[in-house]
Chains A and B, each alone.
Chain A
Amino acid sequence: MPKRILTVDDSKTMRDMVSYTLKSAGFEVVEAEDGVHALKVVERAPVDLVITDINMPNMDGVTLIRRLRALGAFRSTPILILTTEGGEDKKAEGRAAGATGWIVKPFVPDKLLQVVQKVCPAA
């Protein structure tokens, strides 16, 4: 069974990019466009990894992480945040909320895979 990854981003470009990169590495990918949507998605089926943007409308990434960690099923699911260079306080906030790691935007596909493999190996 391929590992299933949820990518949460309000930018369709980012979602497509993340999704394509991960799919080509053999992951199964589901998408959500903000925190609220993400919670709905995981309600339907669990995922092995969440990659979320921080700054999103409706529900931001930090809140999403807090909400996910509060769910029993997500206590030990890795969650990666997409941060910007210099977004140290956002990173810290994400970490405090329970993020596993981070990916600094902008990134190239290989870097994304490298980080994903780190917390959620394909095999």
Chain B
Amino acid sequence: MAGSGQNRGELDQFQKVFFEECSELLGNLDDQFAMLGENPSDRETLNAVFRAVHSIKAGAGAFGFSDLVAFAHEFEATLDALRDGRIANTERITALLVRAGDVLAHLIEAVQKGRKAEAGYGDEVAAELAALLGAPVQSANRNEGMPVEGVTTSGPRKVVIRFRPHAEMFRHANEPLLLFRELRGLGSLSVTCDFQGLPAFGELDPEEAYLAWSLEIETAESLVRLREVFEFVEDDCALDFEELLPSPDTQHKVSLTPTNGDGAAELGSEGTPGTGQRGGSMGSIRVDLARIDRLVNMVGELVITQAMLAQEIDDQAQLNGRQTIRRHEELAMLTRELQECVMAIRMQPVKSVFARMPRLVRDVAAKLEKSIRLVTSGEQTEVDKTVIEELADPLTHMIRNAIDHGIESPAARIAAGKPETGTIELSAAHAGSNILIHVADDGGGIDRERLLAKAVAKGIVPAGASLTEEEIDELIFSPGFSTAEKVTDVSGRGVGMDVVRRNIVNLGGRIQVSSVHGRGTRFTLVIPLTLAVLDGMIVQVGAERYILPLTSILESYRPDPRHIRAVTGGMNVAAIRGEYIRLVHLHEIFEVPDAVTDPAQGIVVLVETTQGGKIGIVVDDLVGQQQVVIKSLTDNFDPVDGVSGATILGNGKVALIVDIEQMSAMAAHRSGGRGRTAQTSTLPAIDVAA
């Protein structure tokens, strides 16, 4: 049949859609399991879970992923019983469903990566699912859906089929003619019609069934195959099969093709083709990310062009009438709105990440025999899709840590006069152009003595150093640092908070910790809503302008010359409130001529690195704050130290965006020996002509 001519590319495309759909469904499962945790017998939720598993099974079957189908089948059977109320759902069963969801996810991942899951994987869960249904369920892995082949092929035979449809058959829109045609495909057929039941024309009810047929077929097919022809109608007719010995006698034969003389005539309506049937009720569409990125990029260009136009109009303000200025203001407003709209396309609620957490808490808490309640809020807070994807790992890790190291055992909590059940709060909120995420627990807090002792033992901190509480807390972000006494099964597998911090920094964000001994620990993540724009401070250095990320800036001020000290290695430091801050001259780093060299004549911008270190960046002047569209340089140039990207300013010039982390590292480097101008080369201003 025609289905076998499948083109590989299209099949791959279906599979892609299938896997996308799977991951969506699996994502919802976590949510649904959480709901079942609260209300185990909620029919609507059980039905939704059933539907999800069912869809996965159906799709998997279509692609021939038999392991997946087999498992999904067991899963589905149990869910079916649960939603019908044949089995009452319990907490224990919900836990099993959660595990089954894991197995399903694993199997999907396996086929997606084109490998087979380990032999016997998931069998245990499948067996438990089957056990719930009482009897061992039949092996699901049979070739359902394959055409049934003739069982016996003992040579041609003659069979007489007596067939008398009931009126019911026509109400199901079954058509005798089609059955006869199908039979004809299986052998040589002769059809005899019995008109005896036919009333006079005036009494004829077109919806009644009056005719009966006797069908004689000579075929090599089995009786099973012949019966299959009548599969859809056997409940709606009198049907009888009789295998004949040779030479039967027949009466008047009716030719097959011309007519069926019956009320169930085919509907004469041929559909009018292609009138854009989709649409209407759909609330969302899938769009290729690349297209959105392109759109975002183009709007970025538009914003720049608009800014350039603004500058020009400004420069020639006297020449232009008020009208031009007002029209341009409108354009500026529209451009900004357009940019926001386009950015919003990429925005998704953090719910998709948060939703995985209840499940994690339940599993991990159970494993550690702790009693923990997870409170989430702000799930609807939206953030760029890329950010969402990158958030899952760090959050998972932090929540795990909170359960493992933060919340105490029930006994210890009771002894400390706290409620037995610990609480972990996970919240999200918008703060300007950032998203603020808190992960807080009401556990024992950071044990600073132990932390410091450990840091000293590991040589991270010199013995006898006096650190502030904040500095000690910061130590948990040191590489290779785990506060757990022993490596547990749950966390502390070598991936530490340093990795979490790195992940967050890669998103252009920051992470901070605060802790009260005996009361709990709170992590605060500040992450830009999008990776495509940045709130920046434009600074002037010589004839050049640079962008400093606003999130890193603590303050800026004109220093008192008396507070500037030169130390060995040609480095300057500034005393600020009793603290000595290393000064970094941007003009030195980037070799900009004609810049202010005396910090007291310029401005010191105090920035904080994510490591908590502070440096003072010396610039000539502050130009102003602006949201800038980030352009990657690495697409076209080799990476440049101290620069994370570039943007195009309103005057058409390129301004480099300063990478605070690298700048800090470079400053530390430079203090080792003067004259070595890092590995930077001179970066002349680039005029954007076109």
Contacts and interface: CB of A to CB of B under 8 A. Distances in A.
B151 interface: no
A101 B174 contact: yes
A63 to B, nearest CB: 15
Interface in B253-285: 264-267, 269-275, 277-278, 280-282
B223 interface: no
Given A11-B21, A118-B232, A105 B6 contact: no
Contacts of A86: 77, 80
Nearest to A37: B281
Interface string A22-43: 0011101011111011001100
A102 B231 CA distance: 9
Interface stretch (B59-67, B119-127, B602-610): B59-67
Interface string A49-88: 0000001110000000000010001011111001011110
B47 interface: yes
Interface residues of A, number: 67
A79 B175 CA distance: 12
A108 B2 contact: no
Contact of B173 (A11, A37, A47, A79): A79
Interface string A7-33: 000111110110011001110101111
Contacts of B178: 118-119, 121
A110 B173 contact: no
A100 B232 contact: yes
A14 B277 contact: no
Contact of A76 (B1, B55, B264, B277): B264
Contacts of B282: 33
Contact of B6 (A3, A33, A109): A109
A106 B21 contact: no
A76 B58 CA distance: 28
B77 A95 contact: no
The listed residue with most A CB atoms (<10 A of its CB), out of B1, B47, B231, B271, is: B271
B170 interface: yes
B543 interface: no
Contacts of B181: 121
A121 to B, nearest CB: 7
Contacts of A69: 171
Contacts of A99: 172
The listed residue with most B CB atoms (<10 A of its CB), out of A11, A20, A32, A46, is: A11
Contacts of A45: 271-272, 275, 277
A110 B232 contact: no
Nearest to B13: A16
B489 interface: no
B142 to A, nearest CB: 9
A107 B175 CA distance: 24
Given A10-B55, A73-B267, A102-B232, A20 B277 contact: no
Contacts, number: 179
B282 to A, nearest CB: 7
Contacts of B76: 84
A55 B58 CA distance: 12
B51 interface: yes
B585 interface: no
A17 B278 CA distance: 17
A57 B45 CA distance: 12
A104 B271 contact: no
A120 to B, nearest CB: 8
A1 B270 contact: yes
A111 B277 contact: no
Contacts of B229: 118
Contacts of A36: 281
A3 to B, nearest CB: 8
Contact of B280 (A37, A101, A111): A37
A106 B6 contact: no
A107 B10 CA distance: 18
A11 B59 contact: yes
A25 B1 contact: yes
Interface of A: 1-4, 10-14, 16-17, 20-21, 24-26, 28, 30-34, 36-37, 40-41, 44-48, 55-57, 69, 73, 75-79, 82, 84-87, 95, 98-102, 104-114, 117-119, 121
Given A108-B64, A118-B232, 12 more contacts: A10-B55, A14-B58, A16-B14, A20-B6, A45-B271, A46-B271, A73-B267, A75-B171, A75-B173, A78-B175, A79-B173, A98-B173
14 contacts: A4-B270, A13-B18, A17-B14, A44-B275, A55-B51, A69-B171, A76-B267, A77-B173, A84-B54, A84-B76, A101-B232, A105-B57, A106-B60, A107-B145
